[in-house]
Chains A and B, each alone.
Chain A
Amino acid sequence: GEDVEQSLFLSVREGDSSVINCTYTDSSSTYLYWYKQEPGAGLQLLTYIFSNMDMKQDQRLTVLLNKKDKHLSLRIADTQTGDSAIYFCAVRKSGQNFVFGPGTRLSVLP
């Protein structure tokens, strides 16, 4: 089955860029997603990319996809304290089964 891995923790200083990485195992994954989860809340969709793209930019967010290495990254420019949260990578193959990574806890230091 699909396996999605992420580093568990990342700390950055306010104003710096954050890069959160994700690797997956199934090359047939069609859509790849980034979600944000704040304490006690559900998951908020941040952005997603189709597997035939290699980059997508949306305001402060940039998603990079390396299909050859099965590597997905999320870059947050000018990171703010409000960006502190857990970020989940998720992949979808066919059907409606989405597989999530364990999440990366981003801490933004003042």
Chain B
Amino acid sequence: DTGVSQDPRHKITKRGQNVTFRCDPISEHNRLYWYRQTLGQGPEFLTYFQNEAQLEKSRLLSDRFSAERPKGSFSTLEIQRTEQGDSAMYLCASSPQGADTQYFGPGTRLTVL
């Protein structure tokens, strides 16, 4: 299967710790998106990359959050000094250039104790 993959699938951490998540998009998809989904809500847009360039960032992405896509392939999302309010499912999606659709990965569920 060559869908979007995310690692880890689950992460439990203590408040104040840093965490990093990885997303591997579908091969040759040059667009990559990060979303956050809390219980009972739809996904909320965080940020978007086209190749290695981060082109859009939501106001939800506080200065504790940073995302990178250094070679235009996989991406990482880091949360520094985690807070309990960061507990959520973090979803990654990708799409090819010119397409109007996104393909989602299974998500990383973060629990901050």
Contact = CB atoms under 8 A, between A and B. Distances in A.
B100 A45 contact: no
Contacts, number: 55
Q: What is the interface residue range for chain A against chain B?
A: 20 to 34
B106 to A, nearest CB: 5
For chain A, what secondary structure do more than half of its interface residues adopt (helix, strand, loop), or is it mixed? Answer: strand
B74 interface: no
Contacts of A95: 56
Contacts of B93: 43
Interface stretch (B14-22, B37-45, B75-83): B37-45
A54 B102 CA distance: 22
Interface stretch (A11-19, A60-68, A70-78, A96-104): A96-104
Nearest to A35: B104
B110 interface: no
Given A96-B48, A98-B45, A103-B41, A42 B91 contact: yes
Contacts of A48: 100-101
B107 interface: yes
B2 to A, nearest CB: 15
A45 B45 contact: no
Interface in A29-52: 31, 33, 35, 40-45, 48, 50
Interface of B: 4, 31, 33, 40-45, 48, 50, 55-56, 58, 91, 93, 100-107
